[in-house]
Structures are given as structure tokens and as C-alpha cells.
A and B are shown apart, each in its own frame.
Chain A
């Protein structure tokens, strides 16, 4: 059996003595789209921060396609094909939509000051290739008409779409999406759901945090439920959300 695209084994994290994530394990198979759900404060976003490398776990191992990346920096993990979006989008507000997406390309020769001066040809050639790819991604998320506008003019939903394009520009194998539908109007919601399904159909594995159960049901074949930092349940969305212990935490906010 091949290694899962992303796996976490026994992750723990605490802030000031408060255990936010406790002995948490999960897998995302290659090409799989897994939902990560749970009530507010369950530790989902902390889990994302651990997986992406923003935080270092107190215990546990993280593997990308079987390779241990627990000690690798966030930048290193991004270079290895793991990319994330943020719950509250973080666009580079004073840069244009196109520049936002261009910045995300990995391995840019021109990001070194000496290369810009010494190898202008190589930099220009790479820019030409990247700009074509960036424009295709901007088309894909339906932001072409805003390409040359600063990201600050985008609406909440458009910012989510921009994050999606930025994440894709890194050429990821696994992406972590933190509430891509939060605060998005219904018209854009369908577009976002459609695009996530499209990305997944190209073989990119996705772990998705979402409170919108309809979206989870439409997209995910499997969900992982977290409560109070622990794994509570795992299985097909329709089946798991009917389990009494899952219903309980959503009603009480605490496992019974």
C-alpha cells in the first residue's frame, strides 16, 4: 500500500498548560478530499498550523508522502508540495491580484537580488512562464476582470478565491483549506465548491475545515471529527454526523 499524501501521528500541542491538541492522528490519502469538522475551539485551526509548520508540535510525527517533515520549516513544507489557505484570508492588500498569484510561484530565480542583476534572461524567461500560469489560475477562479486591481478591493468571497489561486500557484500535492466558505455569499459559494471539486479531480489531496455541512456532504468522502483537541469520530459524512456523540458535542460543545 502506498503512503498517504499527508499523515499525522499522535500530535499534541499546548499553549500555557492548556492542551489544545491531544494525541491527534489523521491521514489524507493521495487524491482524497477529507473534511475536518468539530465545534468551535476543538483545535482544528491549531491542527492546521501544526500540519503546515506554523507551529511545532510538542509531540507526534507529520509525514508528507511517507517522508517525516516534523522538523521542516513552513517554507520547506511548501516547497515539498504542502500549501494552505487561511481562515481569514491574508491577501497582499496593496499588490495586484496578478502580483499576489505571481508571488506564490516556487523556486523563482528572480527572488535573489544577484540573479536579477546577473541572469536577467533566466529571470525574464521564468516570469513569462509564470505569468501565463498565473493568468490561467486567475481565470480558473473567475477573477480575470480584477487582475490588475489591488487585492484590497476584493470582497470576502473573492479573497477566498484569490487564496485558492495563490495556493494552486505553489503547485501543491496536498492543500489545507481553512473554512473556504466562511462569510461567502451563496452565488460565490457554488463557484468555490465547484472549484475545490475540480482541483481534487486533478489528483490534489485536500484537507478541508468547514462548518457548512452541506458543503462537507457535497465534497468529502470522509470526515474526521475533533472535539476538545481529540479525535472523536471518523467516517462517511452522512453516517458520522448522525452518531449520538457527534450530535452531542455540536449541541454542548464538550464530549459527553
Chain B
């Protein structure tokens, strides 16, 4: 019984990581934007949703008590706006500088989460976040599986939408820009505007994931959004196969499994006073796995497929 409940808990978190990973895949896999500030966009989404949905609190601004669905939409919206602004400032930079700037912005935003206490509750974070299916919370099994179903449904919907986008004229012109930017420009395309759209869309998805995670766990605090999260998500996308939406989901589940298993193994094997230090081994495990994979299968487990945009039927049936 307990294992079944834990499996659902584990998979629900894996689904939220899948969503972040799908967002990064839009930015990196499809568009080639080197965003090293993933954690911040997830955090913006989480805090936005929490602000919108928690009940009013005297020592914090807000707590608007809105429904969770409104929180989700708000999270995606605010993250999209933040990504758009960050993108407008940085996307003209070459990829290595884009990485440095997004990293810096992520650090700055994380410090904002930690220090703007009236908005975020500071280092203590925010608890008692309304949870989806909160009415059945007493029954852990039912609660976890209901949440898993919800998160999985969200992943499926996002997957279908993103595949649809990849086959749309938008996906086509993004690929054209990636293939030959000069040629695309000569054909009247605006690479900067297209990149900005992809960056904002990716950011919106990451923000949504942050909200889903916050409402599932019920508690958020600034350490959730350290660069470690960005590292995990990148590892997931590289392992799964960047450029492939299915790969992004697979990578998220797999890396999260290794992370969680190595974590519980460490807590079994090491004595209590050594555990804080031993926890670093989790990062080592992921790092070693990344190295091995990059040596043997650099394109990831599910490599990018050739996407052909749909042309509303082939020549023969028109």
C-alpha cells in the first residue's frame, strides 16, 4: 500500500519535471537557445500561483484565494512575460553569453524569492498551499493517484500541443532559421522575433510546471529554485534526447528515478551524521551518467526525428 502511494508520488513529481523539460526543449531542442536559468522561470511560476491561490495572510501581500486553475494560468502568463522581457534583453547575444546572462538572472531572481519577504515569505517559504484534490488528502493513495492522473493528463495535452506546433508553419520557420539564418532572413523572416516567441513559450511552460509542483507538494521555499534544478532539467533533456518531446518526458522520468533511488540508497547506507555530505553523491551519480551517455549516445536515448510539417494531404489526394 505504502509503496503504491509512493510510486504515485514519485511519478507525479516526475510529470512536473517532464513539463519543465518540455519547456526547455522548446527553447534548446527546437530553437537552440542556451537557457541556464531554468530554475528561475519555474520559481516565478510557483510563486505567482501561490500568491494567487493562498488565502489572505496578514504578513504577506496577497493571498487572493483564487482557484488553483487560475493560479496555473497566472503562473504560465507571468512566466511568459518575464521570459519575454529577459529574452528581449538577451536574445541578441551569442549563445555562450546568453548562457551567462540567464544564469545571472536566475541567481538574481532566486535572491528575490529569498529576500522580498512581503511577497514570498522569505527564507521560510510558503506553506499550506491549496492542493488539487485536497478534500481526499487523508487518503494518501487516492490523493496521490488523483494528482498523478491530473499531472499526466497535463503532460499529454502539452505534448500534443507542442507536437502540433512543431508541425505548424511556426515550427517550420523555426527549423528554417536553425538550418540557415541568412537564407531565412533573405526570405523575409525575422529570426529575433521567432526566437523571442520560443523563449517566452518555453518560459511559460516552465512557470506552469512550477505552479503544478507547488500545488502538489503544498510548500515552496527559495532553495527549491537553486541552479541545481537547472542542472537536473538539463541532464533530463540531454539524457532523453533534445529536440524530441517524447525524449524530454522519458529523460525526466529516468533521471528523476535515478535521483530519487540514489537518494534513498544513500539514506539507507550512510549513518545519520554523514548523510548531509553523502547527499552530494546524488549529483555525482547524475554527472557520471551524463558523461557516459554523452560518450556513447550523444544524441540522447530518443534522438531528434526529422519533423515534416503537415501539408494538408499529399499531392496525390489533392
Measured CB to CB, the residues of A under 8 A from B are 52, 54, 74-75, 78-79, 83-84, 86, 90-96, 98-100, 102-104, 106, 108-113, 116-117, 123-124, 127-128, 131-132, 135, 144, 147-148, 150, 166, 170
Name A99's contact: one of B161, B164, B309 (CB within 8 Å): B309
The list of the 3 closest CB pairs from A to B, nearest first, reads: A110-B169, A78-B188, A90-B183
Chain A's closest residue to B306 (CB) is A94
Measured CB to CB, the residues of B under 8 A from A are 161, 164-165, 168-170, 172-173, 175-176, 179-180, 182-190, 194, 197-198, 201, 306, 308-309, 311-312, 314-315, 318
Residues of A within 8 A of B318 (CB): 131-132
Alpha-carbon distance between A116 and B201 when the two chains are bound, in angstroms: 13
Alpha-carbon distance between A124 and B184 when the two chains are bound, in angstroms: 22
Q: Give 10 A-B pairs besides A100-B176, A117-B161, A123-B169 with Cβ atoms closer than 8 angstroms.
A: A74-B185, A90-B180, A90-B186, A94-B175, A95-B175, A95-B176, A111-B173, A112-B197, A116-B170, A144-B315
Alpha-carbon distance between A31 and B197 when the two chains are bound, in angstroms: 39
Alpha-carbon distance between A75 and B180 when the two chains are bound, in angstroms: 15
Residues of A within 8 A of B187 (CB): 78, 83, 103-104, 166, 170
Residues of A within 8 A of B198 (CB): 113
Residue contact B183 to A131, C-beta cutoff 8 Å: no
Name A116's contact: one of B165, B180, B182 (CB within 8 Å): B165
Residues of B within 8 A of A103 (CB): 169, 172-173, 176, 184, 187, 189
Residue contact B312 to A94, C-beta cutoff 8 Å: no
Q: A75-B189, A110-B168 are in contact. Are A147 and B308 (CB under 8 A)?
A: no
Residue contact A106 to B188, C-beta cutoff 8 Å: yes
Residue contact B179 to A96, C-beta cutoff 8 Å: no
Residue contact B170 to A128, C-beta cutoff 8 Å: no
Residues of A within 8 A of B308 (CB): 96, 99, 148
Q: A86-B183, A93-B179, A131-B312 are in contact. Are A113 and B170 (CB under 8 A)?
A: yes
Alpha-carbon distance between A144 and B308 when the two chains are bound, in angstroms: 17
Residues of A within 8 A of B186 (CB): 52, 54, 74, 78, 83-84, 86, 90
**What would 9 A/B residue contacts be, using CB atoms closer than 8 Å?**
A54-B185, A75-B185, A78-B188, A90-B180, A90-B183, A92-B175, A112-B170, A131-B312, A135-B315
Residue contact A127 to B312, C-beta cutoff 8 Å: yes
Alpha-carbon distance between A100 and B175 when the two chains are bound, in angstroms: 10
Alpha-carbon distance between A110 and B312 when the two chains are bound, in angstroms: 14
Chain A's closest residue to B179 (CB) is A92
Alpha-carbon distance between A92 and B182 when the two chains are bound, in angstroms: 11
A91, A95, A127, most chain B CB atoms within 10 A: A95
Residue contact B201 to A113, C-beta cutoff 8 Å: yes
Residues of A within 8 A of B201 (CB): 113
Residue contact B183 to A92, C-beta cutoff 8 Å: yes
Alpha-carbon distance between A131 and B172 when the two chains are bound, in angstroms: 13
Alpha-carbon distance between A71 and B65 when the two chains are bound, in angstroms: 52
Q: A78-B187, A86-B183, A90-B183 are in contact. Are A95 and B169 (CB under 8 A)?
A: no
Residues of B within 8 A of A111 (CB): 169-170, 173, 189, 194
Residue contact A98 to B311, C-beta cutoff 8 Å: yes
Chain B's closest residue to A110 (CB) is B169
Residue contact B168 to A123, C-beta cutoff 8 Å: yes
Residue contact B179 to A113, C-beta cutoff 8 Å: no
